[in-house]
Amino acid sequence: MIILIVVVFAILGFVVSSKLKSKFKKYSQTALQANLSGAEIAKLMLADHNIHDVQVVCVEGQLTDHYNPMNKTVNLSPDVFYGRNAAATAVAAHECGHAVQHATAYTWLKMRSAMVPVQNISGKILNVVLIASLFGGFALGLPYPVIGYIVVGSYSVMTLFTLVTLPVEFDASNRALAWVQSRNIVTRPEYDMSKDALHWAAMTYVVAALASLATLAYYIFVFFGNRD
């Protein structure tokens, strides 16, 4: 069953990822009428929200764009940093949406940030316990039920993290789209392209959350589903 879950969501993830890359490639071929680069858009959006302590930097890779709340940087891949198209606009504004969330103490972002260390620890515990469970728990000197509680508890934290991530990502996209539209950064066709690109980017997080929920349900069934 776990293999089936992994395979199904791996295929689904591949399909969504491929669709996302296809959309970004397509929308990168249409020049933005405003002729602004992703970096320029990011700086403008930050300034419009009175955020002056966040830097916009270029990082290597493709689709490696992210906002780092630790050092307050909006990190844009070269295609986005230098790009002057709807795809670059969407990504740059989206990452700035996270910076705006940070500056305004957006509740879901605060919750997600607080969960990061707990989520990391849960992942490490889960790996150790799952390996030990292959030997009936003897490697840790723990009975099977205790192994179950640890696995389900750890995976519950990881699943909650993926669920909390959803409103954070959707909200950042909504902030981005509202700003580029009100600021007249994009034309109507460019707005539609930006919205579509961000939709498929969000779907990657939706798939991750569903995969995590399915896996959690499997572990609950395995450890506790056969009790009388």
Active site residues: 95
Structural contact between residues 108 and 90, judged by C-beta atoms closer than 8 angstroms: no
By CB neighbour count within 10 A (0-12 exposed, 13-18 middle, 19+ buried), where does 129 fall?
buried
Hunting for tokens 């316990």 — which residue is that? 129
120: three-class secondary structure by DSSP: helix
Distance of alpha carbon 53 from alpha carbon 42, whole angstroms = 13
What residues contact 143, with CB distance under 8 A and at least 6 apart? 137
Name the nearest CA neighbour of 77 among 22, 28, 16: 28
